[in-house]
Structure 1
Amino acid sequence: MKPLLPLEEAQKRLIAMAQPMAAETVSVDQAFGRYIAEDIIAQRDQPAANMSAMDGYAIRFEDRNGPWKVIGECKAGSPPCSAIAAGEAARIFTGALLPEGADTVVMQENVDRNDNELKLIDDPSPVKGRHVRYQGGDFAAGSVVLKAGTLLNAGALGHIVIAGHGELRVGTRPKIAILSTGDELVPPGATSLPHQIPASNDVMIAAMLAALPAQSRSISRIPDNLDSLCAALENAQDCDVIVTIGGASVGDHDLVAPAFKKMGGQTDFWKIAMKPGKPLMAGKLRSSLVIALPGNPGSAFVTATLFLLPLIRYLAGANHYMPILQSAVTSTPLPATGTRAEFLRAMVQDGQITAFDSQDSAQLSILAAANALLYRPAESGPQPTGSTVSYLSI
């Protein structure tokens, strides 16, 4: 019997089959959730000049004990007010440019003003430059503010705009076809007989993809018929990735592999040393990458987390595309593992992780209750309560 492919090797082989998508230029208001295709270079200093971080009065630090004469007012969004000399101050507001000669801001709460005479009532400035934001203190023109492959969240987009950009290059969103197979499937919400089941897997996988820069469409409830499956694969070949769900094993009605072969597909690997998710298959059908996920919901979810989502992130231009392991202390003992890596649905709370008693991959109730996959490498020994283990957040 051919040995099962180790998990890490299978992940590497899948990525090796792919190439990141070509980049496209979009405006900043269309870039949320995408990955930057090239380093973002600042077009300006931020701040562009020395400015106040507080409402108060701009002074010279050497005159920090006052009194001062107020000679002007500096507002945010206006050119700098008149320069100040010894013994002078200028009323200043948060975000206003510091007038020439000033190097420190006294908070308005720390002074008493009578007409244009200003006196100190509390020590405002133990350090020179107090309450001043200096030119280039955040970043300087010409510096790299964000690296290629960075995910564009709300903060990153704000950073790009303040650096002087209104549009940018991002990875193109890959097109994904989701093919859910099985004679037993009925539409969501439809009445099902005992031998039938609502088609949940394609909805679940589409929801997982919705958090990524991808364009997905579902071709659902394909019957267990070779011609029907071949037609569905043909229909999906305009997509960059074709994901099949169910029919990936070796039973008489598991027709994904035969249909894939009949269509001229080239299998790269099939069957992984992992639990759940052993029957996973991957290959190429002309220009499309194909991933065949198992049909049990738990298995489909785990394999999508470990293979499909990293692939989509890689295609979309991410510099960090693999799942990130975290650590927690197990609240229960864990038995030894066999020759397959295991991913147990679990709950992480207050630094502790608890694997559910049942790990039946058909039970969606367990998956819905979980917020983590507890990772146990192949050939791991038993671990007592209190052991530090690795997990993936889900």
Structure 2
Amino acid sequence: MLSVTEALEEVSRHAFRLPTQECLAIEAMGMALAEDVISPVESPAFDKAMMDGFALIAADTEGGSVNLEIVDEITAGNTASEALEPGQAARIMTGAPMPPGADSVIMVEDTQIDSENVDRVQIFQPVKQGSHVLKKGGLLGKGQVVIPAGSVIRPIEVGILADLAGAKALVRRRPTVAIISTGDELVGPEVEPGPGQIRNTNGPMLEAMAIAAGATVKQLGIVRDNRDDLCAAIKEGLQADVLLISGGMSVGVKDFGPTLLAEQGVEKVFHKVQLKPGKPLWFGKQGGTDNPTMVFGLPGNPASSLVCFHLFVRTALNELMGRTQDSPFVSGFLLTRDFVNPGNRPVFFPALASRKDGGGATIAPLAWKGSADIATLAQANALACFEANSQYEAGQFVSAVMI
């Protein structure tokens, strides 16, 4: 049985990068850049005033109080009509280009218009050369990498792409995820369950998590526990980049999943992982470089499926999209109460992570009653990680997976 770390390595090893496509930046939200975004120009393209005030020559103010002639007014989007000479100043607005000859800006609050001559301004203190001026190329140099490949496109990246790349982006396309929910006991959310039946919660939950992870989802619905129906659904699901099968992947008399996948040419990579909940996870892959499909057989229990998705399926989707990939684990959470894990598997326990006053992150394990307790699970925003056969005291630091 693989450890969580070993299983993650296998998922990453068998992942592949999806083809690239160019699209509008606004349509690429959540997707990953397939190439570096490089600035084609210097930014700003001119020396720019960073305050409302007066552009001047700093050397004119070395003696302290000085009275300068106002010879121009420059607003954003306009340029100076003439160069400044010694003894002159230009009224200037934030973002406007500096006039030739000027090297500094003094804030309007630090000046006073001459009461006897409105075309002159009084400066009361020396101005440091370069004050409140952003030099040409001070933000970006031509050829500089602004956003590296692998970065996820957020609203700020959309703005940068609008400025530097014509509002377009080269990205890896969104992965397609097919979802099969198996079980004679399952009914849809709109159906009142009869004796021995339960509503299908895994299918909608997995769809929501896949969409949140950046995928396009095809729901193949509830499939009954018979070979023909499941075989047909698997054939359809293998047209996607990732196939998720909820339930039917263990060793029960109606668990046909592993056999039918093998018949369709899906190679098993591993079955069972040393974790709780989620031990029965099955993972395989069909195909080489020609339209491969990654297949995850997820436990039918919602809590187990949630844990396995955030650890393994999300890792696979990140790899497919070429996202800059870090570990799913976030460290440095201060435990707020004692916790004991007497079992022989690491536990991923529903918890509430938060920031405490003054900085630092805390995490509080919830009063979770086990895999069937989805009400408490809904209160969690993290899965606290506890090693096997371990005892933790409040004040210790632990890692977590954010959900």
Q: Which moved more, 1:321-330 or 1:102-111?
A: 321-330
Name the residue aligned to 1:228. Answer: 229
Unaligned runs of 5+ in 2: none
- Superposed CA deviations along residues 305-347 of structure 1, whole A, max 9, x for unmatched, are 0000110011011121541413212122222454322100111
Measured in 1, the distance between the counterparts of 2:5 and 2:261 equals: 24
Q: Does the CA-based 8 Å contact 1:175-1:241 persist in structure 2?
A: yes
Name the residue aligned to 2:319. Answer: 314
Q: Trace 1:238-249 onto structure 2 (pairs within 5 A).
A: 238-249=239-250
Q: Select the residue among 366, 369, 393 that pairs with 2:379.
A: 369
Q: Which moved more, 1:322-331 or 1:211-220?
A: 322-331
Q: Does the CA-based 8 Å contact 1:330-1:354 persist in structure 2?
A: yes
Name the residue aligned to 2:298. Answer: 293
Measured in 1, the distance between the counterparts of 2:106 and 2:151 equals: 39
**How far did 1:124 drift?**
7.6
Q: Does the CA-based 8 Å contact 2:43-2:141 persist in structure 1?
A: yes
Q: Trace 1:1-394 onto structure 2 (pairs within 5 A).
A: 4-64=1-61, 65-114=65-114, 115-120=118-123, 123=125, 125=127, 127-286=128-287, 287-320=292-325, 322-349=327-354, 350=356, 351-379=361-389, 381-394=390-403
CA-based RMSD of the aligned residues comes to 1.7
Measured in 2, the distance between the counterparts of 1:255 and 1:80 equals: 78
Per the normalisation by structure 2, the TM-score is: 0.92
**How far did 1:371 drift?**
1.1
Q: Does the CA-based 8 Å contact 1:347-1:371 persist in structure 2?
A: yes
Measured in 2, the distance between the counterparts of 1:16 and 1:337 equals: 32
The aligned length equals: 388
Q: Does the CA-based 8 Å contact 1:59-1:103 persist in structure 2?
A: yes
Q: Does the CA-based 8 Å contact 1:314-1:321 persist in structure 2?
A: no
Q: Which moved more, 1:72-81 or 1:35-44?
A: 72-81
Percent identity of the aligned residues? 33
Measured in 2, the distance between the counterparts of 1:160 and 1:23 equals: 17
**How far did 1:53 drift?**
0.9
Q: Which moved more, 1:171-180 or 1:298-307?
A: 171-180
Q: Does the CA-based 8 Å contact 1:241-1:289 persist in structure 2?
A: yes
Q: Which moved more, 1:55-64 or 1:350-359?
A: 350-359
1:365–1:124: structure 2 CA closer, same or farther, 3 Å change rule? Answer: farther
Q: Does the CA-based 8 Å contact 1:106-1:124 persist in structure 2?
A: no
Q: Does the CA-based 8 Å contact 1:46-1:162 persist in structure 2?
A: no
1:384–1:161: structure 2 CA closer, same or farther, 3 Å change rule? Answer: same
Q: Does the CA-based 8 Å contact 2:329-2:399 persist in structure 1?
A: no
Moved over 6 A (4+): none
Q: Does the CA-based 8 Å contact 1:70-1:91 persist in structure 2?
A: yes
Q: Does the CA-based 8 Å contact 1:345-1:367 persist in structure 2?
A: yes
- Superposed CA deviations along residues 56-81 of structure 1, whole A, max 9, x for unmatched, are 11011112343111101112112343
1:385–1:93: structure 2 CA closer, same or farther, 3 Å change rule? Answer: same
**How far did 1:164 drift?**
4.7
Q: Does the CA-based 8 Å contact 2:310-2:401 persist in structure 1?
A: no
Q: Does the CA-based 8 Å contact 2:180-2:223 persist in structure 1?
A: yes
Q: Does the CA-based 8 Å contact 2:57-2:86 persist in structure 1?
A: yes
**SS of the counterpart of 2:157?**
helix
**How far did 1:278 drift?**
0.5
Q: Does the CA-based 8 Å contact 1:70-1:117 persist in structure 2?
A: yes
Measured in 2, the distance between the counterparts of 1:130 and 1:348 equals: 44
Measured in 2, the distance between the counterparts of 1:53 and 1:234 equals: 62
Unaligned runs of 5+ in 1: none
Q: Does the CA-based 8 Å contact 1:345-1:359 persist in structure 2?
A: no
**SS of the counterpart of 1:352?**
strand
**SS of the counterpart of 2:340?**
coil
**How far did 1:265 drift?**
2.1
Measured in 1, the distance between the counterparts of 2:325 and 2:129 equals: 42
**1:384 partner letter:** E
**1:83 partner letter:** A
Q: Does the CA-based 8 Å contact 2:73-2:80 persist in structure 1?
A: no
**2:104 partner letter:** T
Measured in 2, the distance between the counterparts of 1:231 and 1:262 equals: 12
